[in-house]
Amino acid sequence: MDRIRIVGGNALNGIIPISGAKNAALPLMIASLLTSDTLTLENVPHLADVEGLIRILGNHGVDIAVNGRREHQDGSYSRTVHFTCRTVADTTAPYELVSKMRASFWVIGPLLAREGQARVSLPGGCAIGTRPVDLFIEGLTALGAEMEIDGGYINAKAPKGGLIGARYTFPKVSVGATHVMLMAASLARGTTVIGNAAREPEVVDLANCLIAMGAKISGAGTSTITIEGVPSLSGARHRVLPDRIETGTYAMAVAMTGGDVTLAGTELGLLDTAIEAIRRAGAEVSAVEGGIRVIGHGDAIRPVDIVTEPFPGFPTDLQAQFMGLMTRANGVSHVTETIFENRFMHVQELARLGAKITLSGQTARIEGVSRLRGAPVMATDLRASVSLVIAGLAAEGETMVSRVYHLDRGFERLEEKLTRCGAVVERISD
């Protein structure tokens, strides 16, 4: 099993290219099930989750063609991938595939909308809370689907003639359930109005792609989305938006280690709240041509309290990274997690590096320390694992991060991007 070795203490300087967003690419790929034409996606990142979903879509009959690597001088690459589902080969998404990645559960929406039926295993994914599927079930039921849980699977069936547009308000905000409702309602008969919809940029990206495919959608990016169902969707060409979580992660790494880095191919508007928190912590962050410039001042980190919230609030997917940054702040800060339970598993690993963190319910109290010291640590989930990398970059000596397969699910070429900016980071394959 691979590990990542980090020797801390170096400031970061240079350019880090930001990849296409994993959290946008996955629902966009799943949208290919809605049409018999070809959906072409540009800027698709090379990640374990993307490769896993490609295998899942292949099981449903999606033909996938990759245009190969497109090399750049800065060493990054993006891919253009063509997805064609002439005929749905199988409406069952089996446990052995869905259990490995939660987002694969989202195929239930397009399969129901296009084929009128679906049998999908209950999902797996990161162990950061139960994340129940009740919102998906309630939303699809509102569109007329019959939903039954049997033997670890959800058996779903649309009414004769297909799903029916309806008005449904989510009791709590859910990005995944909003994705599924958008896709399912696009082919439903009549008009669907989604209340308390997720407002994340990835939801807007999916809506824009569906519109390019012929869907009639308005209000994406607000809490109320209206979808007028159409009989069919066509193919389209769409570019995956930049990864705002990767953007915020590297910005926090620079804020913690010091240095001057341009994050290329991204934009401030994708994560205003997180950028403001990074600025309050003492880093300089500004828009520049082609990206964002971050200047960190290392030892002059100020304590900042944050609370995770749905967009446009502070992203839960940046909570662990920000906690890593706060371990070196000159004072006490508080991080409150409101989205997922059990998302503080990185705390005990940060403590191995010398962090002083105490937990009280869903709030962590972080007392900044003058220095961290390298140690062997273990990744527990995707975002927690990269928080350990950030902390290791600022720690004295060597940090060895094990179970880095979590990192491969969401960060493209992490070691290479950091190394090009002066970090000492290497992957060790046992």
pLDDT in tens, 228-239: 999 999 999 999
70 is known to lie in a ligand binding site: no
Give the angle 301-306-310 at the CA atoms, nearest 5°.
140
28-62 pLDDT, tens digit each = 999 999 999 999 999 999 999 999 999 999 999 99
Q: Is the bond preceding residue 312 a cis peptide, omega within 30 degrees?
A: yes
- Cβ atoms of residues 109 and 26 within 8 Å: no
240 is known to lie in a ligand binding site: no
Catalytic residue, from 85, 126, 209, 421: name it. 126
Q: Which residues partner with 93 through β-bridges?
A: 120
Per-residue pLDDT at 120 exceeds 60: yes
Across the range 310-318, mean pLDDT stands at 95
pLDDT value of position 375:
97
Across the range 312-320, mean pLDDT stands at 95
pLDDT value of position 77:
60
**Two structure tokens written together for 93:** 């998404």
- Cβ atoms of residues 43 and 78 within 8 Å: yes
216 is known to lie in a ligand binding site: no
pLDDT value of position 127:
40
342-356 pLDDT, tens digit each = 779 899 999 999 999
22 is known to lie in a ligand binding site: yes
pLDDT value of position 152:
86
pTM for the model stands at 0.94
Across the range 223-228, mean pLDDT stands at 98
157 is known to lie in a ligand binding site: no
Domains of the chain: 3-18+242-428 (3.65.10.10), 22-239 (3.65.10.10)
CA-wise closest residue to 396 among 369, 356, 428, 429: 369
Per-residue pLDDT at 70 exceeds 80: no
Per-residue pLDDT at 426 exceeds 60: yes
49 is known to lie in a ligand binding site: no
* 209 part of the active site: no
Per-residue pLDDT at 76 exceeds 60: no
Task: Give the separation between CA 195 and CA 401, rounded to whole angstroms.
Answer: 42
